[in-house]
């Protein structure tokens, strides 16, 4: 395995540090100001559209998100470079948060959201677009498959669960929003609709 690139490494360390800080040192008090609260709750603050992605609800939640960041994010950072990689992650995280705010408002939900999953789902989409035929061995299910089928399956599952699963507390709409934000960012880089054509260096993705 090549060494983990610097931004991905930093993001993993920050997420682990925030989990330890929130859980062990503040007893959850820090979480109130950083998790993403619905607009109608009266607790929403603008920075929560980004800060929520650095908090996690459990060690398992943190582990699987950081595992995916290591598996998919590191290679994308090596291909794109630090700046483009960070732009893409921010687009996915903010789009996931905005989607959750919209659905919480429409559904009258009052619970806050935490977790890097929105950004991770954006990375999954980008990885499948760049390396569609690469074979991976996921943990679930533990069988070899092409990345494009793995990500397509995840997307369809999230779409189904977003309407069926209303009791688990998992923000399925935010996962789909992260994918949408990542897809829009790639369209922007390529100068494809709904964005204007971009001529000159940097147009190709």
Residue 167 lies in a domain: yes
- The mean pLDDT value of the chain amounts to 88
Is the model's pLDDT at 180 over the cut of 90? Answer: yes
Residue 145 lies in a domain: yes
Residue 95 to residue 93: CA distance in whole angstroms: 6
Task: Indicate which CATH number applies to the domain containing 172.
Answer: 1.20.1540.10
Residue 38 lies in a domain: yes
The mean per-residue pLDDT over the stretch 50-72 comes to 93
pLDDT given for residue 89 in this prediction: 97
The half-sphere exposure of 11 on its side-chain side, counting CA atoms within 13 A, is 28
Count of beta carbons in the 10 Å neighbourhood of residue 198: 14
Convert the pLDDT of each residue in 98-150 to its tens digit.
999 999 999 888 889 999 999 999 999 999 999 999 998 877 678 888 999 98
Is the model's pLDDT at 12 over the cut of 50? Answer: yes
Residue 72 lies in a domain: yes
Residue 2: pLDDT band by 50, 70, 90 thresholds? low
Tell me, rounded to whole angstroms, the distance of Cα 176 from its chain centroid.
Answer: 9
Higher pLDDT pick, 153 / 36: 36
Residue 107 to residue 113: CA distance in whole angstroms: 15
Residue 199 lies in a domain: no
Residue 1 lies in a domain: no
pLDDT given for residue 159 in this prediction: 83
pLDDT given for residue 67 in this prediction: 92
Residue 203: pLDDT band by 50, 70, 90 thresholds? very low
Residue 155 to residue 30: CA distance in whole angstroms: 32
pLDDT given for residue 202 in this prediction: 47
Residue 168: pLDDT band by 50, 70, 90 thresholds? low
For 88, the domain range is: 6-190
Residue 27: pLDDT band by 50, 70, 90 thresholds? low
pLDDT given for residue 1 in this prediction: 56
The mean per-residue pLDDT over the stretch 48-60 comes to 94
Residue 201 lies in a domain: no
Counting the structural domains of the chain, the total is 1
Residue 197 lies in a domain: no
Residue 47 to residue 33: CA distance in whole angstroms: 9
Whole-number percent of the chain with pLDDT over 70: 89
Residue 165 to residue 172: CA distance in whole angstroms: 8
């Amino acid at each position: 395995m090549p060494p983990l690139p610097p931004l991905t490494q930093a993001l993993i360390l920050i997420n682990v540090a925030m989990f330890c800080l929130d859980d062990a040192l503040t007893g959850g008090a820090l979480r109130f100001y950083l998790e993403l609260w619905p607009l109608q709750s009266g607790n929403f603050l603008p920075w929560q559209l980004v800060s929520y992605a650095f908090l996690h609800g459990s060690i398992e939640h943190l582990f699987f998100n950081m595992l995916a960041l290591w598996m998919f994010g590191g290679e994308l950072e090596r291909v794109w470079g630090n700046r483009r990689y960070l732009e893409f992650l921010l687009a996915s995280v903010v789009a996931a948060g905005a989607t959750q705010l919209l659905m919480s408002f429409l559904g009258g939900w009052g619970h806050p959201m935490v977790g890097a999953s929105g950004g991770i789902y954006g990375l999954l989409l980008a990885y499948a677009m760049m390396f569609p035929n690469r074979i991976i061995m996921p943990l679930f299910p533990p069988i070899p498959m092409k990345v494009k089928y793995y990500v397509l399956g995840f997307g369809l599952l999230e779409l189904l669960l977003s309407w069926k699963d209303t009791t688990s507390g998992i923000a399925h709409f935010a996962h789909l929003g992260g994918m949408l934000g990542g897809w829009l960012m790639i369209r922007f880089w390529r100068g494809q609709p709904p964005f204007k054509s971009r001529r000159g260096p940097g147009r190709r993705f």
